[in-house]
Every structure is written in C-alpha cells, then in structure tokens.
Structure 1
Amino acid sequence: MPGYVITYFPLRGRAEPIRLLLADQGVEWKEEVLSEKKWKAGEVGLKKTTVFGQLPQFQDGDFVLFQSNTILRYLGRKYGLYGSNDKEAALIDMVNDGVEDLRMKYAGAVVQHELGPEKYIEELPNHLGPFERLLSQNSKGGGFIAGNKISYADFSLLHTLQNHLDLAPDCLKSLPLLSAYVKRMSSRSKLQAYLESEARKNRPILPKD
C-alpha cells in the first residue's frame, strides 16, 4: 500500500480535496494532526522545515510535497485524473484555478470577513454561475466539471461547494446542474463511505473558537 501521510490541522481545510480524491480512489493514508494554536505560536518544529511555512504537507514514502493544488495535480497524474492529453490537462487546470478563485472569495467573506457572509451569499449566483455553464457543456450537465471523465478538479469543486452549502443551504437552488453534481459526486460508493465516516464528520470546516 502507498505510504501516504497528510500532515495538517484538525480541519477539513486545504487538505480536504486531497482526502476526497484518495478516498474516491480507494487509497488509504495516515493523518498527522497538528495543533493550529501551537503552529501559530511557533511551538511546532515542522514549520521551519516546510518550503513556504504552510500546510498541508503530503508524504509519499520519502517524497514530500507542499501546496495543496500541487499535491492534487501530483495525485491526478498518478491515478489517471488529469485528462488524456495536454489540452484536456490544461482545461482541468483552468477549472481548478477557477475553483481556487472561488475558494479565496469564500475565505475573504467567511474567514477574513472582508465582504461579510450576507453580502457574499447575495452575490453567490454570479460566483457559481460559471461552474453551472461548464457543467452544461458535458453530457447535458450529467458529466464532470472538465469533461466526461472525473479529474482532480472535481474534488476541489466538490469540497468548495460543500462549504458553500454549509454556509447557505439554498445556494444551489437556482443552479440545478450543480445541485445534481454534488449529489452525484457524493453518492460515488467509496467517496460516500468517507463522507459518512466519523473521521470526516469530526473535522470542522473552520477552526473552533
């Protein structure tokens, strides 16, 4: 079995799309959980060894990676989740970059309180609309976010949409393709088993006060 280890805080956060991908592919991994309080206080020696002073850290045996999207791309290549040619790979990267932009808007509103959740929720249809249109181009909306084959970008999008549904349960009401997409992805047998696991349920979306 692969010797995968994810080192992160006791949160879903940036590590969650990685977990979703591994779970969906039926791959096991270990978790090394760090206290966010100790990390911020500089009490964890690991911080000095990280490339950019950030987590998650991903270990594949002796190989160590940082940056969550880089980790996703690495696993995408390993498990055939990166398209069939350079053009498909580029489209998958494009979509994932769009998800990253959405994630940053979410963080600005919900974590940094730059805009405020209420205003952000009001503007959500504009932010989510591009993903609805992308889905409409694939199997009449019944495919995946970057074609008819699942890719690493689907796990980024699913995680981000789940966060938004927690924030605003009705946010996909006017976006039927995205709504069906979340249900379709969440019902994939191995992924569903992870989503219903205690380990997943016990990881909060945001740090607890």
Structure 2
Amino acid sequence: MSGKPVLHYANTRGRMESVRWLLAAAGVEFEERFLETKEDLQKLRADGSLLFQQVPMVEIDGMKLVQTRAILNYIAGKYNLYGKDLKERALIDMYVEGMADLYDIIMNHDFKPANEKEKDLANIMDKATNRYLPVFEKVLKDHGHDFLVGNKLSKADVSLLENILWLEELKPDALAKFPLLQSFKARMSNMPNIKKFLQPGSAKKPLIQEKDIPNVMAIFH
C-alpha cells in the first residue's frame, strides 16, 4: 500500500465529497477505488471492511474508517484543521453540524423526481438564504478574521466553501445578499491547495448527470 489514504465510494459526490475536499485542502494526495456495481459494495461488506455495512470508507493509518463525520474529524485532527483547543473545536463542530442539514438537502436535490425539483430548489434556497447563510455572514462579521474560527483554516471553512459553491451551482446568485461570504469564497478559493482542487481534472466530482443517476441508485439501494 502506498501510504496514501484510499477512498472507497461511487464515482460521484455524495457523502465522500466532503472527505475529498478536506484532504485536498490539507494538501494530502489520496487514491480512490470506485464502487461500480452493487456487487462491489457487497464485497466490501462480505470481507468485513464496513463496520456498519455502508460507505464512505477510508483506509488511513492502518484503519478502515467509516461514518463520514468520524472520518472528517480524524482527518481534521491529523492535519491541524481542528482548532488549537477544545473551545475552538467546539465552535468548529457547531458550525459544521449546523451546515449538515443544508448539505443533505443539497446533496439529495438531483435525486428528486423531475416534477419535484423546482419546489425542492425553492426550499433549498429558502433555507439557505433565511437560516444558514445569515448565520455565517454574522459569524464572519463578529469574528473579524478571514476564517470562521481563530485565524487559521479549519474544517469549518472547508465545509462552508463546499456548501456555498454547491449552492451557486444550483443558483448562481445565491450569495447576492451576503458580501462577507462573497469575500470569504474568493479568499478560500485562492488558497493554493483549494485552488488546485477547483481546477479541471482534479478529484473534485462534478454535479451528477441525469444519465448516471440510475447506476448510482443501483449501487446503494
């Protein structure tokens, strides 16, 4: 084994995308082994690799880690993206957990039936612009630094950037009323490791195409 983390998931965003983001932000190279069929997932289950019978699964430091938040916490701790003390870690966790519901509804949008997508997008944007984005606009204003916690990149910043870029893919003017978040996006997107991840050809996954949805559904259901 090369020593690089190995990511096991389908070749799509889903719950692994945040892991890809965090490793990339930390400047860590990783390998991916894509599940292409339901049988690939069943094989991982059968050989005991999946503690709770589900992916994402990341092989790192001799472990086979499952559960997305546990994976993210380990990576953040290992690569110094988790604050300098317990208070900062609590804030980081609070901000990331606060975004979790938004992340889930954004992630599930493409899998909604065609006749529900317009209503679903309206719901996403309502929650984003009235509940979530105002919180982070205020955090940035009150904190007065470039980052959400302390004055150093953390997994909270990476998570926020991932969420707002995904929102903008669905609605390009999502940040129109949030100038500090616009500035935050520009700063974070120009950090060398993140800028590299945002370039074509990186491990960052595109929005899922309609034609690929049945195959992804077949793997996981």
Q: Scaled by the length of structure 1, what TM-score is found?
A: 0.85
| Bigger RCO (CA 8 Å, 6+ sep) | 2
- Residues 154, 44 of structure 1: CA spacing in aligned structure 2 closer, same or farther, 3 A cutoff? same
How far apart are residue 43 of structure 1 and its match? 6.2
Q: 1:2-151 residue pairs with structure 2 within 5 A?
A: 2-35=3-36, 38-39=37-38, 44-48=42-46, 49=48, 50-107=50-107, 109-112=109-112, 116-127=120-131, 128-139=133-144, 142-151=145-154
Q: Residues 43 and 109 from structure 1, CA distance in 2 versus in 1: closer, same or farther, beyond 3 angstroms?
A: closer
In structure 1, list runs of 5 or more residues that go unmatched.
none
In structure 2, the residue matched to 1:199 is 202
CA deviations 1:11-57 (Å, max 9, x no partner) are 1222222222222222111111112xx23x78631144322232211
Q: Given the two structures, how large is their TM-score scaled by the length of structure 2?
A: 0.81
8 Å CA contact 1:7, 1:58 repeated in 2: yes
Q: Report the CA distance between 1:87 and its aligned residue.
A: 0.9
Give the whole-Å Cα distance in 2 for the aligned partners of 1:89 and 1:13. Answer: 25
Deviation at 1:121, TM superposition (A): 2.3
Task: Tell me: CA distance 1:197–1:47, structure 2 relative to 1, closer, same or farther (3 Å).
Answer: farther
Match of 1:172 among 175, 184, 187: 175
User: Between Structure 1 and Structure 2, how many residues are aligned?
Assistant: 203
The structure-2 alpha-carbon separation of the partners of 1:63 and 1:27, relative to structure 1 and needing over 3 Å to count, comes to: same
Q: Please state how far the C-alpha of 1:83 moved relative to its aligned partner.
A: 1.0
Structure 2: tracts of 5 or more residues without a match: 212-221
SS of equivalent to 2:202: helix
Q: Is the 8 A contact 1:13 1:205 kept in 2?
A: no
In structure 2, do the counterparts of structure 1 residues 138 and 9 end up closer, same or farther at CA, with 3 Å as the change threshold? same
Say whether the 8 Å CA contact 2:10–2:35 is kept in structure 1: yes
